[in-house]
Amino acid sequence: MSDEPIKKVSIIVSRGSLEGIYPGLIMANGARMEGIEANLFFTFFGLYGILKKYMNSIKIATVGNPAMRVPSAKGFPLPTWMGAIPGMSAFATSMMNKEMEALDIPPVGEFIEMISDAGGKIYACRATVDMFHLSDDDFCPQMDKVLTVGEFYELSAGSQIIFT
């Protein structure tokens, strides 16, 4: 283990669910609050975290989520097939949003804005942008640039790379 402090993190966000996007946002915000350079790279369905139209309506994935428990994280396991019941994702998302609001954790759009305002950089994956037929107009204004994977690696030189 190195005694040298972390100076830079590059966080890859690849999942578009609430539990896929928030870890990256929390880690990037924490890094900036500690004076650590933070880069967020959104790829595949994680890209929905920075798309204007969808970023504030991200849901919890209930289907096939073996960690789901009711009524709380200490409760009974929710059988994965129950995640397919209509309205289950909306119900779980609503409950989680209430818990986060009580802890003063901001919604995705506000969190992205906070990270950007604190100097964090926000990037979109070129391959995913092309595959999903997106343009710069589809993204929130805080998105700094669309990068290829090679450009991301170049930008990440000397970083701790974190995949959420």
Q: Report the chain's terminal Cα–Cα distance, integer Å.
A: 22
* Model pLDDT for residues 66-102, shown as the tens digit of each residue: 777 766 667 777 777 777 888 888 888 888 888 889 9
* Count of structural domains, the chain: 2
Q: Is 138 helix (H, G, I), strand (E, B) or coil?
A: helix
Query: Residue 45: which domain range?
Result: 8-56+107-163
Structure-block tokens of residue 118: 């604190």
13 with 78, same domain: the answer is: no
pTM across the whole model: 0.89
Average pLDDT, the chain: 91
Minimal CA–CA distance to 38: which of 14, 71, 9?
A: 9
Quick one: 119 and 102 in the same domain?
no
The more confidently predicted of residues 5 and 115 is 115
Query: Are 70 and 150 part of one and the same domain?
Result: no
Please state the separation of Cα 21 from the chain's center in Å.
Answer: 2
Residues 39 and 116 in one domain: yes
Q: Are 8 and 37 in contact (CB under 8 A)?
A: yes
Residue 114 sits in the same domain as residue 49: yes
The torsion region of residue 3 among left (phi > 0), alpha (psi -120 to 50) and beta comes to alpha
